[in-house]
A and B are shown apart, each in its own frame.
Chain A
Amino acid sequence: MGNQQKFLRKATLILVLLVAFALWIWVMGGTALGEVNPGGQASSLPWWAWVLILFVLTFVLGIVAVLGGVGGGVLFVPIVSGFFPFHLDFVRCAGLLVALSGALSAGPGLLRAGMADLRLALPTALIASTASIIGALMGLALPTYIIQISLGVTILGIVAIMILAKKSEYPEVREMDGLAQMLGIHGIYTDISTREEVHWKVHRTPLSLGHQQISPVHHRHQRRLDLH
């Protein structure tokens, strides 16, 4: 398929989505759902204004989510719950759906390009998914402010690790451990910005699998394919 055809296909898809979204807003206005203002009863803005503001914000989030590879969930929940007057329960539920759909739509392309790897993702996903059931139950039992503080601390902890980590763009792994060798967790991908082939492998696998702990904050918001 030529570049022009690809561009036309994408432009048509975007147009269809935007028309469907406009139709959805128009139809919702006449239903009981349209009478519920997401900003609360005391909100000075109409319900459709909140919907449009959210659309613009998530559009920007979508761009930076692709650049950062952090997915919609990690940025969506703290930013939307911090700046919008929506209840945290609705925001975290929407965050899960955003993270799920983001992972599903990005997954096949990343797997094809070698940027995501099933052998790397499967063991961590299996442990994280199992532990997340307990984490979710704990999270639902905790008060909202504890969840928000824990989410903030978790994200700030990730920032600290990212700042302190050396060579995080291309981590230097000298030797694979036995478990990683047994599971065959290594591969090659092409960095699209530098056009260079990158050979990657992992170490400290048992320790990292053990770190998929039961975290009420983390498991409520993020399930995605890990790149490193």
Chain B
Amino acid sequence: MLPLIVVPSLIGIMLGSWVGVPILARTKPAIIRYIVIILLLFAGLRAFLKGLGI
């Protein structure tokens, strides 16, 4: 089952990163910081709640 998860993930991440590079060039570091904080907060809460079975 691993290829069914790995193959779409790798292609998706690769294409996404190609699209992300030109956006990165136009974005200021302060805005990127806020984006990272929001994303990590979301991912961290999701993992924590899943671990607690919520």
Number of interface residues of B (CB under 8 A): 49
Does any Cβ of B come within 8 Å of A14's Cβ?
Answer: yes
Contact (Cβ within 8 A) B12 A191 = no
Whether the pair B12, A82 counts as a contact (CB closer than 8 A) is no
**B20/A62 in contact, CB under 8 A:** yes
The answer to whether B50 touches A169, judged by C-beta atoms less than 8 angstroms apart, is no
A152-B47 in contact given A51-B4, A66-B24, A193-B27 (Cβ < 8 Å): yes
Do most interface residues of chain B lie in helix, strand or loop, or is the interface mixed? Answer: helix
Distance in angstroms between the alpha carbons of A38 and B5 in the assembled complex? 8
- What chain B residues lie within 8 Å of A56 (beta carbons)? 12
Q: A82-B46, A97-B10 in contact; A147/B51 too (CB < 8 A)?
A: yes
Instruction: Report yes or no: A90 in contact with B2, Cβ–Cβ below 8 A.
Output: yes
Q: How far is the CA of A79 from the CA of B42 in the complex (A)?
A: 8
- Given A56-B12, A72-B13, A94-B9: A63 touches B19 (CB 8 Å cut-off): yes
How far apart are the CA atoms of A54 and B5 in the complex, in Å? Answer: 7
On A, residues with C-beta under 8 Å from B are: 10, 14, 17-18, 21, 24, 28, 33, 36, 38, 47, 50-52, 54-70, 72, 74-83, 86, 90-91, 93-94, 97-98, 101-102, 105-106, 145-156, 158-159, 162-163, 168-170, 191-194
